[in-house]
Amino acid sequence: MKAITGMYVFSAIVIVSFANSQPTADVNVDLKRLLQPASTIRTGVVDRVGRIDYVAQTGEYRITWRGYDGRLLQTTYTPEWRAKVTLIASAERLQDSTWRYTYTIHNLPRSPHNIVAIYVTTDDAEPVRALAQKGWRFTGVHQTHKGQAFSFCVDPASEPYAPLAAGQQVCLQLISKHPPAVGTCFVSSDAPLIRVPEEMPSVLADRLPLGLDGGLRSYTLSPSRRLSAESFRTHWRAAIDAGWVGDKQLASRLTMYVERTVAALQSGHRLRAQNALATIQQLVLEYNEKLEPEAKALLLQSLPYLLHRAGSTH
């Protein structure tokens, strides 16, 4: 038997603060960008010990089992992923050859939970500095069961304590020496903790997601210190899967020229890579409104970075 108790606690030092979170409306929010549950919960009878049922009316899960004395016990699990959140990320190359990453998180007006933490996976790319709106703080790079991730969390010392409420958005920034690649973002909310009348059987408890798996997930931009021509191909495929190119035909054309650029870089044909990249840049200019800022960052910053680095090594 295993009890479900406690919660995750995060602590670190504030780096930089600016501006307050601002309330926003659902107007101009692209609902296709809603973050999705980071995991699933299997329902039905569990090893003849109890059962888990999804309650469609509330979006919660009802867990039923027999207690020590044979009585039927029941509790309700509220998943963090019921929050309705969108995330837009962009990257900008600065004059000192660093990149500024901006993450805008919008907790939609109809969201039932506040947002308390945001994690983005990375490959050891420690930021130069971080900037967080008042009430939030950067907590550093941590080792998680999803790999290394940097995180921003609500500052428990802020007055008033201000998790991101429904209808609000927060803007968070990182300055990094490394170019944009594709990472995974996890968002945690303050969904109510599960309360149980007595210990829950472990076979039921094990069905419930813990940590980052309990929240929301999406692809996003993340600095990468190990970006290469070969890995860029993988990152671009993830960008297509994420829907960062809003037209299938355009996505196909861009992918064709990305493949040409990568192949040319791998074989040392710099001029071919330059020509393919020039076509990509023209397509981005021509179809600018059909590309999300994340796709533009990969095509207009990361790919030229790889081409420049290839030239500097010859």
Q: What are the residue ranges of helices labelled H in the chain? A: 202-205, 229-241, 248-267, 270-286, 293-297, 303-312
Residue 221 CA from chain centroid, whole number: 8
pLDDT at res. 176: 97
Residues of the chain with pLDDT under 50: 1-27
pTM (predicted TM-score): 0.87
Contact 117, 10 (CB under 8 A): yes
Residue 180 CA from chain centroid, whole number: 14
In angstroms, what CA-CA distances link 164 with 52, 89, 105, 136, 280? 30, 17, 9, 9, 38
Instruction: Write the single-letter amino acid at 1.
Output: M
pLDDT at res. 159: 86
Q: Are strands 17-18 and 129-133 parallel, antiparallel or unpaired?
A: parallel
Instruction: Write the single-letter amino acid at 172.
Output: L
Instruction: Write the single-letter amino acid at 134.
Output: K
pLDDT at res. 314: 53
Q: For residue 20, give both structure tokens.
A: 């307050």
Instruction: Write the single-letter amino acid at 290.
Output: K
pLDDT at res. 2: 32
- Please list, in sequence order, all residues whose beta carbon lies within 8 angstroms of the beta carbon of residue 19, skipping any fewer than 6 positions away: 133, 134, 171
pLDDT at res. 29: 61
pLDDT at res. 1: 33
Q: For residue 266, give both structure tokens.
A: 């791998």
In angstroms, what CA-CA distances link 94 with 99, 178, 217? 6, 12, 29
Peptide bond just before 197 cis, omega within 30 deg: no
Instruction: Write the single-letter amino acid at 156.
Output: P
Question: Phi and psi dihedrals of 231, rounded to 5?
Answer: -70, -25
